[in-house]
Homo-oligomer: A and B are copies of this chain.
């Protein structure tokens, strides 16, 4: 039941619901809301563009809210997990273990034991991990399913966060993989696939295309001479979303069309190998908002400050304090008066006692009033879970899937 608010201008509609109604549903501010229809639409759009043979995985790390994971379980072909707890979320959502890949440079013995016992694919990232997985398999009396995560030998230049091509703790350097494969052949483990992760948050189509092509060629080289072809090859993700003014969305159609080239190479040489692409931020990032309430406004030395009950403890990335070299504003609107034209220049800050706690610097907004709802867009990924929730011991934000 979506309320229509009488005698008031229309609020921002999110998932078909007025954002003021969402605030009442949450019971308090601040809150994160994720729009299931937007997630669904994004997946359908991707499915339409992707070659049919491609398996579409969700990287739980982008947004581990259980309701989101359950919703996605029915819509994607598998999950990529980065911890035992993420693996548990994927299993709880009914995903088959062989559709789960567990990657991470620092898997503990406990992580590995749980993963081997559950039968998920362990993405082995070092000799140590191979040794431990073998020992655990022996101890449990099972044959572990492993993939090799490769630190690729090519470098892309336009990725938001480059994770391959140079020295890195992730995966096994491409040139060390043949030795690891020889080692692996002597162990009681099943080699199920390769995992090549070259970067993330890339908005440049040509870079994604090039990285995927290089990844496939790398896999063809690595798989050459294997007794059995790998069952899958995970070519990573990398699809970015625009956050800041001037950023254009990734041309996904162009990227997907180019996939037919490397798909045919793969089909020709490794016809039984299923290509997997993993998407995290790209599936959920634009489907989320962070909503906080204006609790004060003040003028200090001719600058206007809008003080909210939110802040960096809930959404560190939006404050600019998480990995960004240069702080830029996430898109921000006044949720209860989204149509009003900007009329004042102000700074929107959080409630914390630190100058780091900024939500929007020097931004044009309609005249902001106490009680207004400040909506930060593009907040569906790496929001709540990537923030220092206990910093200054304020209440945690509510989360809801709309």
Binding site for B on A (CB under 8 A): 60-61, 64, 82-83, 85-86, 89, 103-109, 126-129, 151, 161-163, 166-170, 172-173, 295-298, 300-303, 305, 307-309, 311, 316, 321-323, 325, 347, 349-356, 370, 384-395
Contact = CB atoms under 8 A, between A and B. Distances in A.
Contacts of A163: 355
A104 B390 contact: no
A104 B394 CA distance: 11
B303 A167 contact: yes
Contacts of A385: 388, 390-393
A85 B392 CA distance: 8
Contact of A355 (B85, B168, B351, B391): B168
A87 to B, nearest CB: 9
Nearest to A316: B388
What secondary structure prevails in chain A residues at the interface with B? Answer: loop
A322 to B, nearest CB: 6
> Which 9 residue pairs are nearest across A and B when measured between Cβ atoms?
A106-B351, A167-B303, A85-B393, A167-B301, A169-B305, A167-B300, A385-B390, A128-B296, A82-B392
Contact of A108 (B107, B170, B295, B325): B295
B393 A390 contact: no
B83 A392 contact: yes
B389 A300 contact: no
B392 A106 contact: no
B393 A83 contact: yes
Nearest to A103: B353
Contacts of A295: 106-109, 128
A86 B392 CA distance: 7
Contacts of A128: 295-298, 370
A395 B297 CA distance: 39
A291 to B, nearest CB: 15
Contact of A389 (B61, B305, B370, B390): B390
Nearest to A297: B128
A232 B295 CA distance: 28
A161 B321 CA distance: 14
Given A61-B392, A106-B351, A128-B296, 8 more contacts: A61-B353, A82-B353, A104-B351, A108-B309, A109-B295, A126-B296, A169-B349, A385-B391
